[in-house]
Amino acid sequence: MKNDAEEGLAEYPQEVIDLINNQRYFGRMNDPVSSSYLKGPCGDAMEFYLVIEHGKITQIKYYTDGCHATRACAAMVAKLAEGKFIKEALSISAGEIITRLKGLPEDHLHCSILSVSTLYRAIADYLLKK
């Protein structure tokens, strides 16, 4: 019998399951340089936390109470944004997330938009504080 955390993962390729289960980017940050919070139309909440040094994202974390698709999208955004300069991170698109997450269900494509939008908002928080 599967537990709640494993429920629904069978529909994803192993690469996406590994990303969902990887704790590297998941969690909250105590002292971020910037952060953001958005709630998607589906009700999933997402947060991003950034440490930015010399215009480069040196640390990134996300937190969500959402479904597997939301978590996969956020993890992919974090993975792509880490180590990038602000301008490069702003070029990450929802389309790129969908392409990289092979097997993202059609009814969860909005999760990619939520993830990218939350990252953009965290970057805007940083830029507005400068």
SS3 assignment for 28-47? CCCCCCEEEEEECCCCCEEE
1 belongs to a structural domain: no
4 belongs to a structural domain: no
Domain of residue 41, CATH code: 3.90.1010.10
The tens-digit pLDDT sequence of the chain (130 residues) is 333 445 567 778 888 889 889 999 999 999 999 999 999 999 999 999 999 999 999 999 999 999 999 999 999 999 999 999 999 999 999 999 999 998 888 999 999 999 999 999 999 999 999 7
Radius of gyration of the chain (CA): 14
Q: How far lies 5's CA from each of 9, 50, 56, in Å?
A: 8, 26, 33
2 belongs to a structural domain: no
| Residue pair 83/50 in contact by the 8 Å Cβ criterion | no
Closest C-alpha to 70, from 95, 103, 46: 46
78 belongs to a structural domain: yes
3 belongs to a structural domain: no
> Could you tell me the pTM of the whole model?
0.92
Number of domains in the chain: 1
